[in-house]
Structure 1
Amino acid sequence: MLDEFLILGLDFTVFLFMRESLIFIGISDDLALYYAIILTLILNAASFHEVRISEKFTKYVLELPNVINVNNEVYYFNIKIKSKGYLTITLNIAGFIVPLVLALVLSLRYFTLLKSLRLDYLMIFILLTLLATLIFNRLGMIFRHYVGISLVKSYIIGVLIGLIYGFELDVYASLSLTYVTLFIAIVLGVDILNMGKVVLEGRPRSVSIGGMGIADAIFVIPLLSSLTSYYVISFISNYLFTQLMIP
């Protein structure tokens, strides 16, 4: 029962984010509502599909610890084992390809709305993205066949980054640039920089980026963080505007 509520909650959050994003890129409120529903359904179906981008023959050299006892004397040494096999790298459509497209569209839309390139805005974006990449790389937890990350810690960090965008730049940056920054940071800091360790330690036959679909950190964390920070900044802006209008 709990899992069903979590899935429904995630779907509703995806719907809200898609609606706000569609409105941000210039689609009317009415059309954004219908398109958001359709996109949410499509994303659920796309979570089960992947695109293979690479398949290569890989050799591994493993060092395994070994202990022997000879006449009550213990000897420790490492044994080198050579292994080989095919490694397939795939991209999940909902877990990576769709977030990539969203990040490109949102970033292009935001910087297009500025009408002229603001170097100070660009520097803030670059610095926050680098900082987030380093933080998420430290938060990454390497398991046998995949890399994990704490959802709660990542969400809090993501919201803080979104609030910085909102206060330093504007409310639309808290939606668009927050999503772009967190997408880049998680893909680079968590997946790509740790992929070599996963391959060496777990020796999986396939590696999937965004493999959990809409439940993957690449999809969930940027979406939740950007949506939360956007609503918080919007509420604060509207509240301050209302207070200023009161005589």
Structure 2
Amino acid sequence: MKEATYPIVTFLLFHELCLLLGLSVEYVTYLSTILTLLLCYSDKIRFFLLSKTISGDLLKVIDLSYANLRALQKIKLKTTQKLRVYVSLSGLLFPTVLGLMLGIYVIYRLPQYFIIYFLLFSFLTIAYNRFSIMVFEKGILVSLASSIITTVMLVLAVGTHYSLDSSTLFMLTYSVSALATLTGVDLLNLRYVTFFKTKSIIVGGYGVRDAIFLIPAISSITTRIVYSLITLLSYT
């Protein structure tokens, strides 16, 4: 059941994007289905980005026990390692490029909201970073529920205050959320890589199951649905 949610979210995202492009309804379903299948099956496509030597502090506990005396001491060691960074097509490149394109479009069309865009991005970056944690052999984990709820409530407040239309709010939500996830969850947590002595990392490695794909997708879809309902109820 859980695995079925990922293609459903992907389909709904493409469905909304196709409607934004002004495509006729009869083609939206077919095109969304094809794009969903292509993106879901491209989970394993990864590209080498860079190889970099990084250094950092490694905390280690040393047993200094002697005879009947027990003593443990925590020391800090300087470590240096060569790290290879890969990026996922569906888990990083797609949401990042889409987020940038939607952000540029929104700012170009509504330049007066640039400060609002920047503030939303900054706040969500900090929030997502607080919701994330580095776990050994699993990578970076983040609370999807907390991230999505925070995003939806924040953007709904902005949209209601400035009376934005649902399409603009959808694009705004996806853009700030995608870029904030990349920055707050992935980039700001890279400094902890030295603690796990890994030789390579894959940014967005979970594909359509990765936070950088799911958080902006679910947040933008939810925001549009809720905001449309709020707007509809306000006119009745």
- The alignment status of 1:223 with 2:220, answered yes or no, reads no
Q: Which residue of 1 aligns with 2:149?
A: 156
Q: Which residue of 1 aligns with 2:102?
A: 106
| 8 Å Cα contact 1:89-1:208 kept in structure 2 | yes
Q: Which has the larger radius of gyration?
A: 1
SS in 2 for 1:148: strand
Cα separation, 2, equivalents of 1:201 and 1:216: 22
**Structure 1 stretches lacking a partner, 5+ long:** none
| 8 Å Cα contact 1:68-1:76 kept in structure 2 | yes
| Pair 1:29–1:143, CA change in 2 (3 A) | same
| 8 Å Cα contact 1:165-1:177 kept in structure 2 | no
What TM-score do you get using the length of structure 2 for normalisation? Answer: 0.89
Number of matched residues?
233
SS in 1 for 2:44: coil
Q: Which residue of 2 aligns with 1:53?
A: 49
SS in 2 for 1:48: coil
SS in 1 for 2:64: strand
| 8 Å Cα contact 1:179-1:225 kept in structure 2 | yes
**Structure 2 stretches lacking a partner, 5+ long:** none
- Once the two structures are superposed, what CA deviation does each residue of 1:5-35 show, in whole Å capped at 9, x if it has no partner? 2222321221111111122133333333222
- Once the two structures are superposed, what CA deviation does each residue of 1:118-165 show, in whole Å capped at 9, x if it has no partner? 2xx111111111111111111111112411111111121121123124
| Pair 1:125–1:73, CA change in 2 (3 A) | same
What TM-score do you get using the length of structure 1 for normalisation? Answer: 0.85
Q: Which residue of 2 aligns with 1:207?
A: 201
SS in 2 for 1:77: strand
| Pair 1:134–1:63, CA change in 2 (3 A) | closer
Q: Give the superposition deviation at 1:59.
A: 5.6
| Pair 1:164–1:214, CA change in 2 (3 A) | same
| 8 Å Cα contact 1:64-1:81 kept in structure 2 | yes
Query: Of the candidates 15, 37, 53, which is equivalent to residue 19 of structure 1?
Result: 15
Q: Which residue of 2 aligns with 1:195?
A: 190
Cα separation, 1, equivalents of 2:18 and 2:159: 19
| 8 Å Cα contact 2:134-2:140 kept in structure 1 | yes
Query: Of the candidates 213, 232, 240, which is equivalent to residue 234 of structure 2?
Result: 240
* Cα RMSD for the two superposed structures: 2.1
SS in 1 for 2:84: strand
Cα separation, 2, equivalents of 1:87 and 1:160: 38
Cα separation, 2, equivalents of 1:173 and 1:140: 28
Q: Give the superposition deviation at 1:218.
A: 0.3
Output aligned runs, 1:83-122, within 5 Å. 85-114=81-110, 117-118=111-112, 121-122=113-114
| Pair 1:23–1:206, CA change in 2 (3 A) | same
| 8 Å Cα contact 1:162-1:175 kept in structure 2 | no
Cα separation, 1, equivalents of 2:153 and 2:9: 19
